[in-house]
Chain A
Amino acid sequence: MKRIALASTDGQTMTGEAPDQSPIAIRGMTVSYGQKPVVFSVDATFPEGSMTAIIGPNGAGKSTLLKASLGILRPLSGTVTVFGQPLNSQRHRIAYVPQRASVDWDFPTTVLDVVLMGLSRELGLLRLVRPRHRDKAIECLSRVGMAEFADRQIGQLSGGQQQRVFLARALAQGADLYLLDEPFAGVDAATEKAIIAVLKTLKAEGKTVVSVHHDLSTVSDYFDRVLILNTSKIAEGSVADAFTEANLQAAYGGRLATAQVAGIPVAG
């Protein structure tokens, strides 16, 4: 991990403010590598039952914002509340799907084992894996179409299959809030379809989904909200309100060719 911060803020929040009850509320988040903030003073709220894409150009701080919100990286400043409570008291309600490349796929373990990791809160330190745990893991695997791979060594999977296993592990956690880091990066079309179907089911169940996303052409099909980020927050809101050409231009600058914008079904 990169060196982020030598000192942290005291994390105390001002009193007298009614806490935001939304699944995740980020206030004044700044994260920097060395002396350069990659995320600057971002406020963001993700309402219950919404499905939000975090978009922005490469290096805009999308993954960094996600990781800092989850305490994986230390922010320079900023506070996070989850369902109106401090992050640490609500971890059981969060499922996190990291970038595929962030783990060692050569690790000696099987697909089923990885999904069972999602049950580790339930299993604690020493409880044995019972048939019902196994059944639940298999069920989560079938939801992503991977049940027949349960006994496979994880290194033998394709990129898309690895991503689906990660999603199955998140499902096993039975969380209320799902945070995904580039789930569609380098996966096949079938996997993308399978993942988005699962995410939409989650949304239908009233769960909250937040995903770092890079394919602008699918934003309006997949998500109902966007957070447009380029170091600072450019816009946040429903796809209809915030996913506009002007906002994209502001975030992507010249990197977003006009022709490209023309091809994207942005909101008027």
Chain B
Amino acid sequence: MSGAEFVPLSLTPILIGVFAAIACALPGNFLVLRRQALIGDAISHVVLPGIVVAFLITGTVSTWPMMIGAAAAALLAVLLIEAIRRLGGIEPGAAMGVVFTTMFAGGVLLLERSDTSTVHLDVEHALMGNLESLIWLDAFGWGSLLDPEALAGLPPELFRMGLSMIGVIAFVWLFWRPLKISTFDEGFAQVMGMRTNLIGMSLVAVSALAAVAAFDAVGSIIVIAMFICPPAAARLMTNRLAAQVGWSVIFATLSAVLGYVLAGYGPLWLGAEDSVSAAGMIATVSGIVLGLAAVFGPARGGTQG
């Protein structure tokens, strides 16, 4: 494939997909180890009510209000789950189920009641994103990477997602030790003077940030899949945390690239004319990677290694 075709049409969606995948997979490692893997699931379901409310308040479909709305909804959901879990003495899974389904129901209801059908705001978009449309029309080939004029036309999602990924990397790098220690042994971490509640909440907040940044570009499906599949597959490859995180980044990248390519070109190879959902395909590929790791991963078994 020539650069003239690849750079404008595929480079930016692939990069955005990779950034989103890594931004979600990194905190996902700790969520999986803390048995909180489904927080990602809960967060991505409440994104919908968040953007609907943001739309109702501002009356426009613009990125920032919607992102803020989604982030606020994610935060509210996390607080509600925690409150219901503690106040009601309910196990976390059930508390999560109560909160995210109710908020999702509220979002759907608001969507139906308000006249949003005329604008581009629908459930499908929130679920599947629109990775394929994030193309770089100003590019003509690899040379455009050095052309300031063309660079100015890069889709803004690329920068948002890139920044979010850098933010997530910075968080994990900076708080590596507290995250590791409090995940392994909370009581010990507390006696060492670590604010374990604060660490846990920050992890969830950073996950929410990644999810919110990602849903807009790639939809919630990728978000849930990337929070869980690459870290889970990585856990089956190694017994070292640092190596696990490394593997998860590799798997996330692999899923994003392979999924995008398969969605775009796979049907053509099979003789069909149209491509299929890239978000769905990326999730599917990550599932295949996990399946392979579950069968062949060197550290797949129980404690016997």
Interface residues of A (CB under 8 A from B): 3, 67, 70-72, 88, 91-92, 94, 96, 98, 102-110, 113-114, 117, 120-121, 123-126, 153, 155-156, 169
Contacts and interface: CB of A to CB of B under 8 A. Distances in A.
Interface string B170-188: 0000111110110111011
Contacts of B193: 88, 91-92, 121
17 contacts: A71-B190, A72-B190, A88-B193, A92-B193, A96-B188, A102-B187, A103-B184, A108-B33, A108-B239, A108-B241, A108-B244, A117-B185, A117-B188, A121-B192, A125-B176, A155-B239, A169-B188
Interface residues of B, number: 31
Given A3-B86, A109-B241, A110-B240, A98 B187 contact: yes
Contacts of B243: 108
A3 B85 CA distance: 10
Contacts of A110: 239-240
A221 to B, nearest CB: 28
Nearest to A104: B184
B187 A96 contact: yes
A109 B239 CA distance: 6
B239 A72 contact: no
B284 interface: no
A183 B58 CA distance: 60
A155 B303 contact: yes
B89 interface: yes
Q: Is the interface of A mostly helix, strand, loop or mixed?
A: mixed
Listed from nearest, the 3 A-B pairs whose CB atoms lie closest are: A155-B303, A96-B191, A91-B193
B240 A108 contact: yes
Given A107-B241, A126-B174, 14 more contacts: A72-B190, A104-B184, A105-B303, A107-B33, A107-B183, A108-B235, A109-B180, A110-B239, A114-B184, A117-B185, A120-B181, A123-B177, A124-B177, A125-B176
A121 B192 CA distance: 8
A123 B305 CA distance: 30
Nearest to B303: A155
B36 interface: no
B238 interface: yes
A121 B188 CA distance: 12
Nearest to A89: B193
B79 to A, nearest CB: 17
Interface in B150-202: 174-178, 180-181, 183-185, 187-188, 190-193
A266 to B, nearest CB: 32
Contacts of B188: 96, 98, 103, 117, 169
A110 B191 CA distance: 21
B191 A94 contact: yes
Contacts of A121: 192-193
Contacts of A103: 184-185, 188
A85 to B, nearest CB: 13
B305 A155 contact: yes
A190 to B, nearest CB: 21
A109 B240 contact: yes
A74 to B, nearest CB: 11
Nearest to B196: A72
A125 B178 contact: yes
Nearest to A99: B187
A120 B241 contact: no
Nearest to A70: B191
Nearest to A155: B303
A253 to B, nearest CB: 30
Nearest to B175: A125
Interface in B240-266: 240-241, 243-244
A244 to B, nearest CB: 33
A106 B183 CA distance: 12
A72 B305 contact: no
A198 B180 CA distance: 27
Contacts of B239: 108-110, 153, 155
A72 B191 contact: yes
B101 to A, nearest CB: 24
A22 B237 CA distance: 49
A3 to B, nearest CB: 6
Contacts of A88: 193
Contacts of A105: 303
A215 to B, nearest CB: 23
A107 B184 contact: yes
Contacts of B238: 108
Contacts of A126: 174
A125 B187 contact: no
B206 to A, nearest CB: 16
B187 A72 contact: yes
B241 A156 contact: no
A67 B191 CA distance: 9
B177 A106 contact: no
A158 B113 CA distance: 61
